[in-house]
Amino acid sequence: MNQGKTPISEQYLLSLIFVTILSFQIVVGEKIEISNNGPVIFGSNITFTANLTNTHDKEFKWIWEDNYKPPHKIHQTAKNTSNITLSYDQPGRYVMKLEIKDGSERKAEGDNHFEITAVIPGTLEIYQYGKLVPRDQYLSCRNETVLVTKIHDPSDYFSKANINYIWNINNNIVIGENGPNLTRTFDEPKDWNVLVVATAYLPDGNRGKYVGGSFSTTVKSRAPIDTINVTGKVVLKHGDLVDLQVDCDGSNPWSYCWMAVPEINGSQIEDAVCSEVLTTNDCQFKVIYYFRKSGHHEMLLNISNDVNRVIKRQGITIYTAVPEPQLSTVIIPVVCSLLAIAIVLIGIFSYAQSRRQFHIEVADFDFTSADSFSYQTFCQQLKEAFASLRLPGSSSCLCEREWNFLDCGSKTESDAPMEDEFRRDFCRRDRLVESADDESSIREFINSN
């Protein structure tokens, strides 16, 4: 702190003490409140009202005086309340002063500023959903808006006047509307400048007069939030993160927050308060959260813009997963089962193939047939061979002696030596074979048998 300078706190304290002493000197412990019902148009009446508090039930002298030219000065005797009504012919801003005395002692004094206008005083009010919309507040572009012209006429000065209204929206005159109210849907989200001009004819005996006034306002039309879309898995295994994508419509900017809560009823939703509110110009944001316990949970999404607020409840289910068996305990039984099935199929296939390739030969042992086979000795076979033999250049049959000798029907096993000799000498006989070639052929045949 610099020396030579009074601290701010000390200056404030000294000023407060000075004002207190001054107020005590002027008000002397009494409190006075002065008000008026202006502004009013020139020629109409304006009323001033004063109330004195912290007093005993006794009468005081009330002295009213303004700064109008010439000034109005009025004296009254009243207890705690006094009021006066005056009319001013010249527009302007003036001050009304009031002094209250108890005999010659001044109990309190004060002043009040007021305005006398040259035009019709009033306002242009905006209503939606049947409620007054403040000038700085946004309204919905999807609902009807009612614009109401309110002329300030506390003394009913315009009660007999004929008033005409002309409406103008964004520098475009609204055709067909000449009343004090206008109903319209401002369906495009933007600012709309609305102006209404009022013209009043005031009859005054044989001579009337026209006065007018204009009132304007700005309709701030915005799109409300109608839909909140939530995408992502809402049924998760315990241990997984909740990962949701949230989108919404409406006009920007948006303020949003979200919180994870147990299951709550509808009355508790409006009471839910977020610890942190974020603002964005793009209504797309992520919700990532981890629930420690399994069960059903609620995720509250709180989104608002300049028009409305929407709270969406999103249910989340967290379940406890059953432990999965090891891979080996699943693969090994499956592989073994497949191998067993393959072995069985291969065996069945092999058996079917062998059955198709195996042929059974069946012998016919029908001995009663005339063509049945009978056993023959070597001699009998030789006889049959010679009987059917026809050699080129040879005689048509064997000699009588050899043929008889070959009659094997009467031979026995003792004839075997003779058969061997017959084999050696038979082919040399000239009557059986006429050439050496034929002899060798017969011998070859005999030896082969």
In CATH terms, are 31-117 and 122-222 the same topology? Answer: yes
pLDDT at 355: 74
pLDDT at 22 exceeding the cut of 60: no
Domain definitions of the chain by residue range:
31-117, 122-222, 228-319
pLDDT band at 399 (very low <50, low <70, confident <90, very high): very low
Q: Is 248 in contact with 254 (CB distance < 8 Å)? A: yes
The domain at 122-222 falls in which architecture? Answer: Sandwich (2.60)
pLDDT at 85 exceeding the cut of 80: yes
Structure tokens at 266: 């509808």
pLDDT at 413: 52
pLDDT at 347 exceeding the cut of 50: yes
Q: Give the pLDDT confidence of 132-190 residue by residue, as tens digits.
A: 999 889 999 999 999 999 999 999 999 999 999 999 999 999 998 899 999 999 999 99
Give the CATH number of domain 228-319: 2.60.40.10
Average of per-residue pLDDT values in the chain? 80
pLDDT at 26 exceeding the cut of 50: no
Q: What CATH superfamily is the domain 31-117?
A: Immunoglobulins (2.60.40.10)
pLDDT at 431 exceeding the cut of 50: no
